C-alpha cells in the first residue's frame, strides 16, 4: 500500500513540476514530495483509509545534501578562522585612552589607600591572606604606583614646558617692545636707567641707542637748513652749533689732557646740548658721535654746495680746535672724502700727500677705497702724459709747454705717492695686513 501511495505522489509531483522531464531526479522529486506533503491535502476515502490502516513512520527522514552544500559547509569554517586570524592586529592605546587609564588608576590608588583593612578579631571577618597572595598584591600595587608616578611626572613635565614657553614668549615680547622704543628714541632718562639697572639691555646697547637718537636730531637740523634754502651758510651754522662743539661735553680735566683750545663761536641761544641719560657714560657717546656727524655734514655740504668755499675750511676748523678734535674727529670715511675733494675738486696733489700724513699721525687706518683713490690719480696721470706726447708727435715738434704733472710741486707729490716705498705701496701693504688679521 505504501509503495502505491509513493508512486501516486511521484506521478502527481511529476505532472505539477515546472522542471523538464529529464531533470526530474530522485533528489528534486524528494523535495517536491516533502513540500506537497505539507501543502496539499486530499479527502478521498481510499487515501484516508489507507492512512488509518497503515500509519506513517514517525522517524525523521535524513535530509540529503547536495555536493555544493557539503563543499560550502566544509569551506566556510576555514574562511572564518582565516579571517579572524588575519583581523587580529596588535592594538595600541591612544593618548586620550592613556590619559583616561591614568586617571582611573589614580582614582583607584586613592580609594585603595583610603580603605582600612578589616579587623580579624571582629566576627565575620575574612581570614588573613596568605604570603603568596600578599606578595602578589604588593607587586600589583607597585605596578599601579609606578604607572601613576609616570603619569604624574609626564604631567609635570608638560606643565613645566608650557610655563617655560609662556615665560619665553613674555620675554620676547618685552624685548621687542624695548627694541622698538630704543630705535625710535621714545624713552625717558628714568626708563633708560630702569632698563640698564634691570639688565634688560647692556650698557653698550644703551650707548648705541643714545648715539642713534642724537645723530637723528642733528641730521634733521641739517636737512631743515637745506629744505629752508639757507644755503651753505645754514649748514655751516648747524655744524658750528651742534657738531663742532660736541667735544665741549667732556669735563675740563679731559679737555686739558686732550689739548682742546676752545669752542667754535656760534649763536649761543641756539646751542643744543646732547641729551645723554645720567646712567649712560658720556665719553663713549662723544667719541663715536663726533666723527660720525662730521662725515655726514661734510658729505651734505659737498653734495648740495660743491662750489662752496666753506668746504676747504672744514678740515682747518677741525684742526683749529686742538689735538682732541683732530684725533677724535678723524675717520677713514672722512679722510677718503677729503682725498676725493682735494683731488677731484681742487687737483691739489700736495694736499693729498698732507692728508695721508695726517692719517698716519692720527692713527686712521686706510681701506680699499683709499687705495682705489690713489690708483685713480695714477691712472689719470698716465692718461694725461700719453695724450700730451701723442699730441706733440702729431704736431711734428716737441711741445714747449710743460705738462701739468711735470710742475715741481706735482712732480714731488707724484714721487712721494707712487715712487719706491711711496704712499700707495705702504697703504696697499697695510690693507693686506688688516685683511689678514681680520681673517684670523
Residue 33 has pLDDT above 50, yes or no: no
Domain that holds residue 303: 202-258+272-321
In this predicted structure, which of 70-84, 387-401, 424-438 has the lowest mean pLDDT? 70-84
Domain annotation covers residue 422:
yes
Q: What is the mean pLDDT of residues 261-265?
A: 50
Distance CA 206, CA 211 (A): 9
Residue 36 has pLDDT above 50, yes or no: no
Same domain, 314 and 344: no
Q: How confident is the model at residue 40 (pLDDT cuts 50, 70, 90)?
A: very low
Distance CA 166, CA 177 (A): 17
- Dump pLDDT digits (tens) for 74-96: 665 555 554 454 445 455 556 66
Q: What pairs with residue 322 in β-bridges?
A: 260
Domain annotation covers residue 135:
no
Q: What is the DSSP letter of 405?
A: G
Distance CA 67, CA 313 (A): 123
Instruction: Calculate the average pLDDT of the chain.
Output: 76
In this predicted structure, which of 95-109, 200-214, 298-312 has the lowest mean pLDDT? 95-109
Which among 280, 298, 321 is the end of a domain? 321
In this predicted structure, which of 25-39, 179-193, 201-215, 234-248 has the lowest mean pLDDT? 25-39
Same domain, 352 and 293: no
How many domains, the chain?
2
Q: How confident is the model at residue 355 (pLDDT cuts 50, 70, 90)?
A: very high
Same domain, 298 and 353: no
81 burial (CB, 10 Å; 0-12 / 13-18 / 19+) is exposed
Q: In 3D, which of 331, 328, 348 has the Cα closest to residue 339?
A: 348
Q: What is the mean pLDDT of residues 133-157?
A: 80
Distance CA 311, CA 425 (A): 29
And the C-alpha cell for 144? 599601579
Q: In 3D, which of 358, 343, 362, 359 has the Cα closest to residue 413?
A: 343
- Dump pLDDT digits (tens) for 103-131: 666 666 555 555 544 444 444 444 455 77
pTM, entire model: 0.60
Distance CA 29, CA 192 (A): 111
Question: Chain-centre distance of CA 189, in angstroms?
Answer: 33
Same domain, 315 and 342: no
Same domain, 356 and 314: no
Domain annotation covers residue 68:
no
And the C-alpha cell for 86? 588575519
Amino acid at each position: 500500500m505504501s509503495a502505491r501511495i509513493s508512486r501516486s505522489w511521484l506521478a502527481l509531483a511529476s505532472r505539477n513540476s515546472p522542471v523538464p522531464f529529464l531533470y526530474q531526479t530522485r533528489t528534486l522529486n524528494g523535495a517536491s514530495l516533502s513540500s506537497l506533503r505539507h501543502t496539499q491535502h486530499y479527502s478521498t476515502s481510499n487515501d484516508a483509509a489507507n492512512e488509518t490502516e497503515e500509519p506513517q513512520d514517525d522517524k525523521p527522514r535524513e535530509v540529503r545534501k547536495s555536493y555544493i552544500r557539503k563543499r560550502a559547509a566544509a569551506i566556510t569554517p576555514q574562511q572564518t578562522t582565516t579571517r579572524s586570524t588575519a583581523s587580529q592586529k596588535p592594538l595600541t592605546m591612544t593618548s586620550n585612552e592613556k590619559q583616561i587609564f591614568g586617571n582611573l588608576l589614580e582614582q583607584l590608588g586613592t580609594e585603595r589607600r583610603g580603605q582600612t583593612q578589616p579587623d580579624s578579631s571582629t566576627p565575620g571577618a575574612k581570614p588573613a591572606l596568605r604570603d603568596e597572595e600578599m606578595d602578589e598584591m604588593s607587586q600589583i600595587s607597585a605596578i599601579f604606583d609606578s604607572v601613576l608616578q609616570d603619569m604624574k611626572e609626564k604631567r609635570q613635565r608638560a606643565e613645566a614646558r608650557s610655563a617655560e614657553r609662556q615665560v619665553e614668549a613674555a620675554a620676547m615680547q618685552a624685548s621687542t617692545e624695548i627694541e622698538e622704543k630704543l630705535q625710535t628714541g621714545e624713552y625717558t632718562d628714568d626708563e633708560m636707567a630702569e632698563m640698564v639697572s634691570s639688565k634688560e639691555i647692556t650698557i653698550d646697547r644703551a650707548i648705541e641707542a643714545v648715539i642713534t637718537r642724537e645723530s637723528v636730531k642733528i641730521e634733521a637740523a641739517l636737512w631743515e637748513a637745506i629744505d629752508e634754502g639757507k644755503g651753505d651758510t645754514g649748514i655751516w651754522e648747524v655744524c658750528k652749533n651742534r657738531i663742532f662743539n660736541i667735544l665741549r661735553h667732556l669735563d675740563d680735566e679731559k679737555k686739558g689732557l686732550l689739548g682742546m683750545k676752545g669752542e667754535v663761536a656760534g649763536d649761543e641761544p641756539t646751542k643744543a646740548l646732547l641729551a645723554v641719560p645720567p646712567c649712560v657714560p658720556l665719553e663713549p657717546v662723544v667719541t663715536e658721535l663726533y666723527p660720525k656727524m662730521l662725515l655726514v655734514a661734510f658729505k651734505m655740504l659737498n653734495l648740495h654746495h660743491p662750489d662752496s668755499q666753506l668746504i676747504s675750511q672744514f678740515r682747518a676748523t677741525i684742526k683749529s680746535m686742538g689735538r682732541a678734535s683732530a684725533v677724535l674727529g678723524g675717520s677713514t670715511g672722512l679722510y677718503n672724502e677729503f682725498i676725493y675733494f682735494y683731488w677731484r675738486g681742487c687737483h691739489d696733489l700736495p694736499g693729498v700727500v698732507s692728508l695721508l700724513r695726517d692719517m698716519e699721525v692720527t692713527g686712521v687706518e686706510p681701506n680699499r677705497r683709499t687705495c682705489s683713490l690713489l690708483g685713480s690719480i695714477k691712472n689719470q696721470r698716465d692718461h694725461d702724459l700719453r695724450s700730451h706726447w701723442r699730441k706733440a708727435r702729431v704736431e711734428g715738434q716737441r711741445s714747449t709747454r710743460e705738462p701739468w704733472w711735470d710742475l715741481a710741486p706735482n712732480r714731488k707729490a707724484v714721487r712721494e705717492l707712487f715712487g719706491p716705498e711711496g704712499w700707495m705701496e705702504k697703504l696697499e701693504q697695510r690693507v693686506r695686513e688688516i685683511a689678514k688679521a681680520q681673517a684670523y
